[in-house]
Every structure is written in structure tokens, then in C-alpha cells.
DNA sequence: CGCGTTTGACCGGCGC
DNA sequence: GCGCCGGTCAAACGCG
């Protein structure tokens, strides 16, 4: 060891660290010699920060022996093995400096001057590193002048003060450690956020080769920088769903704003006029769908293959999961004699296949309400019960929706969002969908289920009812092309409202969305006088107002339960309900534009989601 | 003729 | 490597 060398970290620039300003260090005890910082500061290139080299003054040299016994505040004595402390943090720090700083300094010093310094090196890092240098093994100093009794007394006082000082420094070290972990936490969170944002940007950019290379490069860089590429990736994967949720939420918020801003565009006028021109004739006179395969459109769409192909093997896992998250589907089962249920959107059939295990063909539709809309759906009759039409939606509309379509889109996107809810890890969402199913819809097993066996996470909204007296609702005719399918609503007949549990708001939302989206109930009873207005007079609806329809308080409390269970659910549900209300406003023929209770609930939910 | 549908080919993933 | 299967493409077709 290079005894006699001292490196002092200059704390003079940070004596008033805000975190500990409330507890100023006590004045140094007179018997202790402080290390006096020289004003000479030398920059060590290899260190990158100024090092204050100072030969000890004569005084200090004279006091060298006494110096062994000093307590040094704001100083790290690297070169003394007296520097033993119970504080592991200090030990680590000293170890670090021993390993990395000392050799550099030693080398540079030897280059500068053959004669080794017998002084403290003061390294001004601007950091406050506090440590104690207590020479316990050489604590006895006999100057031969003072009497033994005096010496003992002074020693005792000194010892007590040193112990106090040590205690204080230990606590400060502890606080520093806490602060460090806090900063580390913030750093990690920011890093994750950055990675998520970058990833989102990547998804929005065209998936060109260069982009792919960038992704690979970034990942390599992350690994190289030792921020634990693996860790960051895993953390990001945990964020996966929230990313997707953000996408959906963005869409929900954008679509409303887009609707406002784009409502006067020719395209929108076209849509409103019910005209779709999604094909363009190319120069060959060939029909070609004018799709702006927007960056993620392919990946958002039904085709997973290309996305996976583009990803390098080392990012396969992540991309697989991302693709999986994007491919979350919402399947709607409804009784319908029509070949396709009307959901307010315009669709173009682009394919039909015979699927295995089902004699009924599966039809593939693409949303044609806007160029490049990635939303697709599959329509297939249930093999067991051919009156049941299974419509599977995937993707998020990139365009404003007519009120009639808003509700279904909101419901499906809300369901998809729930599926991808970031409140649980992606692994939970995918690997254990039943968990989600139970958490969100514990009492509605026949209404919404999650398929674990499906290749992609799928929420199934079962709008059929096994009850022999199903709640039927007739699709109200608007200017839709398709015939009027017959729907059933999933509300269990005769069920105690208390048993609705947290499923109630969602079921209610579904109920309302069906109603507001142009689906009309026929009923004899006025369902839920406060929440559901009277509709068509014809009825086979068997919901008892008091039995079937939970009170607003029940609904709100159930919603609150759901909200507290999953904050993300709040935003989604609020978005869905808001859109439903929006749909109601746009759907004047429903005559329920200003249902105060629903508005109230939505505003409550919105205020919750704002938290 | 324009536009939506049909349908066979094609592609990629996946399991054996 | 091969075959199966789901999903997509696009030429051909048909309807208004």
C-alpha cells in the first residue's frame, strides 16, 4: 500500500447539500485536524475532473503523526488502511476509488514528479462524499508534554466526538444511499419511458430496412452502455400493454378531436354521404386498394408475418410480444340472421376462407371508411349454433367514426384495452387472461371471456344469451346497406343487481352502446327508469326495473370498485361512455341525448381517470 | 363502366 | 423439409 498518500474529495463546493441542509455538520472538534484544501487544482485528463494536489504544509508535515489520528470530514483517505469503516457504502466507494482513481492519479503523479507526494490529494468532484478517517489502531498520541490525565481526558472527549461524528456521517451516508436509489429509480423510469416512446415512434415510421437497422443498433447500444439492456427490455416489455393502451387511448382522444377538426373535409363528407372510394385504378387499369400502408398498419392489421420477418433474431422476443399485443382481438358473438352485423362502419370484403373445424366459411373484411384504416374483421358463423354470428375485430380506426360506429368501436377498443391493460404485466395479460377476466368481469362469464387458446389474446363479448327468453333487440334501420340483424343482450335475466359486481358498468355500457349506436330495444317495461329511457313499445324484454337495473349508486360504486382495481379501466370506460354519450348526441332519434345520470357517471369516471 | 365480391394463388408461421 | 393452416392478394366476375 502507498501509505502516506491521501486523496481528498473536495466537498467545499457542496457543503450545503439541500437534502441535508437541515442538519448542518457540527463544527470540527479542536483536537481534530482538518484537511485543509489547497488552492492548487490540477486537472487529470484521465480522470476528467480537477484534482487538487497539495503538498502538506510544514505544519502538516509536523503534524503528520498526529494526522494519523485525525477525523477527516469530506475526505477520503485512499492510501491508508486505517480507513476501515462499518459503512458498506463507504467501503464500496473507497473500493471504487481504490480500483479506478488511485492508479490513474498515481501514474500521472509519477509522470509529473518522481518524488511521491506525502500529501493529501484533493479531488474536487463537486460531490459531497463524506467519510470518517479514524485511526483506531494508532489512537494514542504521546507528545510528551501534557500530563497523562489531561491526555486521557482529551482522548475521551475526542473519542466521544469522533463517535458522534461517525454516527452522523453514517446517517448521512444512509441518506445519500437513499437519494441515490431514488435518483436511480427516476433514471430507470425515464429510461423506460424513453424506450417506450422510441418504440412507439418506430412503430409509426415505415418499417424500412434502415429503421430496422436503427432498432438493432439502438438495442446494441443499450447493451453496450451497460444500462442492462436486458433489464431495460424486460421493463419495456412490462410496459408493452400500456404502450398499446396509450395507442388506443390516443386514438380515442384523437378520434374525437379529429372528428371536430376533420368534420368538414371532403373525405368526411364522402363518408357521411355513404360513398366509399377506397379503390384506385392504377395505370394498368387494375383495381387496387388505395392503402397507405402506414407504418404500423400492417402490424396493426391482420398480418403478423411481415412484421416478424423484419425483426432481427435478437429482438424477436420483444417484437413477438409487441405483435401479440397489437393483435389483441375483440370477438363479438351475436345472434344475427344477416350475413354481417351492422356496426356503423363501412367494410369491404377481401377474402373468404374455409376455416378448419367449421363448415361455415370465414369472411374477411377491411374497414373502408378511410384510406389506410388498419381495422379488419372476420365474420364467421358459429359451427355449433349457426344463428350466432361471430365477428372478430382487430385494430384501431384511424379516422373519425359516425355515431353509430363510435359505440361499437369504443366498446371493442375498450375491451381490447382492458385486455392489454397495463395494470398487469404483459405476461399476466397474455399468460393468464382468466385473471383479467375474473378481475374485471367476475360475474359475467357468459358475456366477456378471454381466450387463452387463441393465437392472439382475444376478448369475446358474448351478446348471445342462453336464456330461453333472450333479450332481443332489433337493429333500428338507418341508411345501412345490410339487413337488420337480431341481437341479444347479455344481461342475465332476473339476476340480483348486487351480483353484477364490477361487471355492471361494462354491461351497462354495452347496453347503452347498443342502444345509442342505433340498436333499439323493444320492451314493455321501462328499463331502469333513470338510466334507460323508454324505447319502442313492443317488448319481450324481461328486465324488472328494480331487479335488473342497478341503481346509479350501485353503478357508480361498482364502477369505483373497478376503477380502484384498475386505474386503466377508468380511462377506457370513461372513453367508452363518453363516446356513447357522444353517440347519443349524434343520434337524435334515440331521444336520450341528455341523460343526466349517464353523463354524471361518465363525468365521475372521467374525473377518476383524470387522477 | 364502376365498384364490390368471388375465388384461386400465394405467403409465412408453425408443428411434426 | 414438408405439409397444414390462416391470412392476404389480385384477377376475374357480376351486378346495377
| Residue-level pLDDT at A352 | 92
**Please, which pLDDT band fits residue A449 given cuts at 50, 70 and 90?**
low
Helix (H) or strand (E) run with residue A9 in it? strand A6-9
Strands of the sheet with A472-475, listed across from one edge:
A486-488, A472-475, A519-521
Distance A284 CA to C12 C1' (A): 15
The backbone torsions φ and ψ at residue A211, rounded to the nearest 5 degrees and listed phi first, read -60, -40
Query: Model confidence over A259-276: pLDDT tens digits?
Result: 333 333 333 333 333 333
For residues A440 and A424, is the Cβ–Cβ distance under 8 A? no
Beta-sheet strands, E only, within A268-416:
279-281, 287-289, 329-335, 347-354, 361-367, 376-381, 388-394
Q: Is the CB of A8 under 7 A from strand B?
A: no
Residue A350 binned pLDDT confidence (cut-offs 50, 70, 90): very high
Q: What confidence category does residue A457 fall into, taking pLDDT thresholds of 50, 70 and 90?
A: confident
- A405: pLDDT strictly greater than 70: yes
pLDDT at A141 over 80: no
Q: What value does the mean pLDDT of chain A take?
A: 48
From the alpha carbon of A454, which nucleotide's C1' atom is closest? C6
* Residue A380: nearest nucleotide (C-alpha to C1'): C6
* Domain spanning A321-418+439-463: CATH 2.20.25.80: yes
> Which pLDDT tens digit goes with each residue over A556-592?
333 333 433 343 444 444 444 444 433 333 333 333 3
With b for 16 or more beta-carbon neighbours within 10 A and e for fewer, the A280-305 pattern comes to: eeeeeeeeeeebeebbbbbbbbbebe
Nucleic strand B near CB of residue A224 (< 7 Å): no
> What residue ranges in A10-46 does DSSP mark as E strands?
42-44
Mean pLDDT of A289-311: 38
pLDDT band at A343 (very low <50, low <70, confident <90, very high): confident
Query: What gap in Å lies between CA A187 and CA A228, rounded to an integer?
Result: 13
Q: Is the pLDDT of residue A189 over 60?
A: yes
Residue nearest B12, CA–C1′ metric: A305
Q: What residues does each domain of chain A span?
A: 321-418+439-463
Q: Which nucleotide is nearest to A340 (CA to C1')?
A: B5
| pLDDT greater than 50 at residue A474 | no
Tell me which of A357 and A241 has the higher pLDDT. A357
Among the ranges given (A164-168, A376-380, A484-488), the one the predictor scored with the smallest mean pLDDT: A484-488
Distance between the alpha carbon (CA) of A455 and the C1' atom of C15, Å:
38
**pLDDT for the residue A263:** 34
Query: Per residue in A83-137, pLDDT tens?
Result: 333 444 444 444 544 454 444 444 444 444 433 333 333 333 333 333 333 333 3
- Which pLDDT score is estimated for A363? 92
Q: Is the pLDDT of residue A33 over 90?
A: no
* Strand C, CB < 7 A, residues 435-464 of A: 455
pLDDT at A364 over 90: yes
What pLDDT, on the 0 to 100 scale, is given for residue A535?
27
β-pair partners for A329: A394, A458
For A358-383, give one letter per residue: b (16+ CB within 10 A) or e. eeeebbbbbbbbbbebbbbbbbbbee
Who has greater pLDDT, A352 or A432?
A352
Rounded Cα–Cα distance for residues A196 and A44 (Å): 39
Average pLDDT over residues A292-315: 38
What pTM does this model have?
0.37
Please state the three-class secondary structure of A102-121 as a single string: HHHHHHHHHHHCCCCCCCEE
Picking from A423, A585, A396, A411, the residue whose alpha carbon sits closest to that of residue A508 is: A411
Contact between the CB of A372 and strand C at under 7 Å: no
* pLDDT, tens digit, 9 for 90 and up, residues A34-80: 333 333 333 333 233 333 333 333 443 333 333 443 333 333 333 33
User: Which run of H or E residues covers position A580?
Assistant: helix A567-586
A411-A584-A559 Cα angle (round to 5):
50
pLDDT per position as a tens digit, A530-549: 333 222 222 222 222 333 33
Q: Give percent above pLDDT 90 in chain A.
A: 2
Amino acid at each position: 500500500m502507498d501509505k502516506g498518500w491521501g486523496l481528498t474529495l473536495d466537498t467545499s463546493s457542496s457543503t450545503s447539500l439541500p437534502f441535508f441542509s437541515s442538519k448542518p455538520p457540527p463544527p470540527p472538534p479542536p483536537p481534530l485536524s482538518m484537511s485543509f484544501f489547497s488552492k492548487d487544482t490540477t486537472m487529470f485528463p484521465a480522470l476528467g475532473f480537477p484534482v487538487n494536489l497539495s503538498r502538506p504544509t510544514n505544519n502538516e508535515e509536523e503534524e503528520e503523526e498526529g494526522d494519523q489520528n485525525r477525523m477527516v470530514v469530506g475526505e477520503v483517505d485512499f492510501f491508508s488502511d486505517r480507513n476501515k469503516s462499518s459503512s458498506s457504502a463507504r467501503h464500496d466507494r473507497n473500493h471504487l476509488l481504490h480500483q479506478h482513481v488511485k492508479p490513474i492519479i498515481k501514474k500521472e503523479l509519477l509522470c509529473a514528479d518522481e518524488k511521491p507526494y506525502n500529501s493529501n490529494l484533493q479531488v474536487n468532484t463537486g460531490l459531497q462524499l463524506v467519510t470518517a478517517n479514524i485511526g483506531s489502531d494508532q489512537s494514542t498520541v504521546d507528545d510528551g508534554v501534557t500530563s497523562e490525565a489531561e491526555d486521557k481526558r482529551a482522548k475521551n472527549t475526542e473519542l466521544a466526538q469522533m463517535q458522534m461524528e461517525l454516527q452522523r456521517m453514517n446517517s448521512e451516508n444512509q441518506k445519500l444511499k437513499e437519494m441515490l436509489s431514488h435518483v436511480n429509480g427516476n433514471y430507470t423510469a425515464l429510461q423506460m419511458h424513453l424506450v417506450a416512446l422510441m418504440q412507439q415512434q418506430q412503430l409509426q415510421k415505415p418499417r424500412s430496412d434502415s429503421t430496422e437497422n436503427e432498432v438493432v443498433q439502438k438495442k446494441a447500444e443499450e447493451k453496450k452502455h451497460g444500462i442492462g439492456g436486458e433489464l431495460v427490455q424486460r421493463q419495456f416489455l412490462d410496459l408493452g400493454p400500456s404502450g398499446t393502451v396509450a395507442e388506443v387511448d390516443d386514438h380515442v382522444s384523437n378520434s374525437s378531436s379529429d372528428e371536430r377538426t376533420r368534420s368538414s373535409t371532403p373525405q368526411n363528407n364522402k363518408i357521411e354521404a355513404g360513398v366509399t372510394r377506397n379503390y384506385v385504378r392504377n395505370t394498368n387499369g387494375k383495381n387496387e386498394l388505395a392503402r397507405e400502408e402506414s407504418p404500423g398498419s400492417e402490424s396493426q392489421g391482420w398480418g403478423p408475418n411481415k412484421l416478424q420477418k423484419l425483426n432481427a433474431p435478437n429482438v424477436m422476443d420483444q417484437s413477438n410480444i409487441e405483435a401479440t399485443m397489437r393483435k389483441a382481438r375483440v370477438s363479438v358473438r351475436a345472434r344475427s340472421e344477416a350475413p354481417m352485423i351492422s356496426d356503423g362502419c363501412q367494410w369491404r370484403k377481401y377474402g373468404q376462407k374455409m376455416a378448419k373445424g367449421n363448415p361455415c366459411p370465414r369472411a374477411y373484411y377491411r374497414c373502408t371508411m378511410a384510406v389506410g384504416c388498419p381495422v379488419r374483421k372476420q365474420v364467421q358463423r358459429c359451427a355449433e349454433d349457426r344463428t350466432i354470428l361471430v365477428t372478430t375485430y382487430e385494430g384501431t380506426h384511424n379516422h373519425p367514426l359516425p355515431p353509430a360506429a363510435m359505440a361499437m368501436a369504443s366498446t371493442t377498443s375498450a375491451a381490447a384495452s382492458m385486455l392489454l391493460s397495463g395494470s398487469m404485466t404483459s405476461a399476466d395479460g397474455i399468460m393468464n387472461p382468466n385473471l383479467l377476466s375474473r378481475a374485471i368481469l367476475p360475474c359475467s362469464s357468459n358475456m366477456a371471456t378471454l381466450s387463452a387458446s387463441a393465437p392472439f389474446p382475444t376478448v369475446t363479448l358474448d351478446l348471445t344469451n342462453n336464456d330461453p327468453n333472450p333479450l332481443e333487440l332489433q337493429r333500428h334501420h338507418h341508411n345501412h346497406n345490410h339487413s337488420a340483424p337480431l341481437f341479444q343482450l347479455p344481461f342475465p335475466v332476473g339476476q340480483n343487481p348486487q351480483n353484477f359486481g364490477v361487471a355492471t358498468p361494462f354491461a351497462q355500457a354495452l347496453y347503452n352502446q347498443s342502444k345509442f349506436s342505433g340498436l333499439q330495444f323493444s320492451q314493455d317495461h321501462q328499463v331502469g327508469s333513470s338510466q334507460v329511457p323508454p324505447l319502442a313499445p313492443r317488448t319481450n324484454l324481461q328486465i324488472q326495473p328494480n331487479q335488473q337495473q342497478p341503481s346509479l349508486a350501485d353503478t357508480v360504486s361498482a364502477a369505483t370498485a373497478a376503477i380502484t382495481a384498475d386505474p386503466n379501466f377508468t380511462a377506457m370506460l370513461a372513453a367508452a361512455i363518453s363516446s356513447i354519450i357522444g353517440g347519443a348526441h349524434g343520434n337524435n332519434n334515440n331521444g336520450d341525448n341528455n341523460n343526466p345520470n349517464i353523463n354524471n357517471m361518465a363525468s365521475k369516471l372521467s374525473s377518476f381517470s383524470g387522477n
